[in-house]
Structure 1
Amino acid sequence: MKIIAGLGNPGAEYAKTKHNVGFMFIDALADKLGIREADWKDKFDAKVADTRIGTEKVVLVKPQTYMNDSGRSLGPILNWYKLAPEDLIVVHDDMDIPAGTIRIRKKGSAGGHNGIKSILAHVGDEHFARVRIGIGRPLPGWTVVKHVLAGFTEEDQPKIKEAIAYLIPAVECIVTDDVDMAMNKFNPKKKKKAKKTEKERASAADTASDAVKETGKAEQHEPETK
């Protein structure tokens, strides 16, 4: 059994803000799994819906405690279901990566995110999966609060939509396989520097050799100075 929690702030005024991409993801996943509005229950200071991914039972959660107190909801949920931190998957926004970029992590610190900081405080363990959706850095002169509580630009809206669609199978992979498999399969790959071909290496070596020879000739003909 897994808990899949998206972080955000309750209320219509926050629904389309950057801080609520976790809620947006949960809503998209719920729609894909056929969860209806009537299936959501109010429990543990959260909106909760039971469903399945493959043969695995999962509980979708949208904490209603406001972002900075997310752990007050998720801690009791884990205790109620007698689950370990490893059974928790948290989807949240991340300012440290560009808008629409994704990262999946197996564990880690809060990294300055107050929602994750609250979960760490209430769960007491860093070993839970984090699914991060980039929202980019604040504009010049903007505070962090203004940035995260603002909506996405027209340019970024399709990027976020694509990121959420891309992450649905990634989170399903965490549930049906494990987080290592999902990280390997869905995390963006680092670009490797192209290796030089044997021909290019030989050409570079010849060039260096010629340069040494020319330098030697120049030194032989250089006039002596007193």
Structure 2
Amino acid sequence: MKLVVGLGNPGGQYEKTRHNVGWLVVDEVGRRWGAAWRKEKDAQVAEVRVGAVPGAKVLLVKPQTFMNASGKAVAPLVGFYKLEPEAVLAVQDDLDSPFGLLKLRPGGRHGGQNGVRDLIRVLGTETFPRLKIGISRPPVGWDPADWVLSKWREEEAATLAELVRLGADAVEVWAGSGLAEAQGRFNSTDLRPKPDPSSERPAEPTASGAVPDPGVS
């Protein structure tokens, strides 16, 4: 058994916010594998088998305790199933990664993500893997707390959908083949728009060999 926790906040007002991207990934995994969600203590959970038959057995978890108390929902499940930290994958939003990037890490500090912070507190270790979905730093003038609770913009929808799809793929590979395999396949993900090469083409020299100055008529 492996456990995948999508970090987020319960309630319709948070459903389409940046902080809940972990839920989107876990929901996509559940949709693919016919999850039957049920309430268990402080979480919505579903057991699925992902991958080729018989598939890896995975417990999908969506805490119902709000982000800052995510560990309260996860710790009893980890204890009940007697899981080692390496068998618990946290799917989280990441302020320090640009929107369009996805990466897996074997553990480490919480980086200010309060759901991860609480998981570290209750599990007593930093050595559980993370799937980080970049949401970028807030624009100038935005408080980070307001930014993570802001809703996705319409022009971000296509990239978000692709990130969620790839995130669900990464969860499946992690569950079936391990962290190293998932890192090798998905840590190069970069869906940021690429610059137009034509806009960076140097100016053509004149007949005399000098590059014309656009500020001189």
Please indicate the TM-score interval, normalised by the length of the shorter structure.
0.7 to 0.9
Other-structure match for 2:48:
51
Equivalent residue runs for 1:67-216 within 5 Å: 67-188=67-188
Q: Pairwise CA RMSD of aligned residues?
A: 1.3
Other-structure match for 1:29:
29
Deviations 1:164-195 (CA, angstroms, capped at 9, x unpaired): 111222111111111011111210179xxxxx
Tell me, what secondary structure is at the counterpart of 1:3? Answer: strand
Tell me, what secondary structure is at the counterpart of 1:183? Answer: helix
Contact 1:105-1:129 at 8 Å conserved across structures: yes
Contact 2:9-2:67 at 8 Å conserved across structures: yes
Gaps (5+ residues) in structure 1?
A: 191-226
Q: Residues of 1 paired with 2:58 and 2:29: CA distance?
A: 12
Contact 2:101-2:189 at 8 Å conserved across structures: no
Q: Residues of 1 paired with 2:189 and 2:15: CA distance?
A: 31
Contact 1:5-1:62 at 8 Å conserved across structures: yes
Calculate the TM-score normalised by the size of structure 1: 0.80
CA radius of gyration, larger in: 1
Aligned length: 187
Q: CA deviation at 1:157?
A: 2.0
1:62 aligns with 2:62: yes
Contact 1:100-1:156 at 8 Å conserved across structures: no
2:38 pairs, out of 41, 51, 54, with: 41
Letter in 1 for 2:9: N
Contact 2:63-2:70 at 8 Å conserved across structures: yes
CA change 1:189–1:61 in 2 (3 A) is closer
Greater helix fraction, Structure 1 or Structure 2: 1
Same amino acid, percent of matched pairs: 41
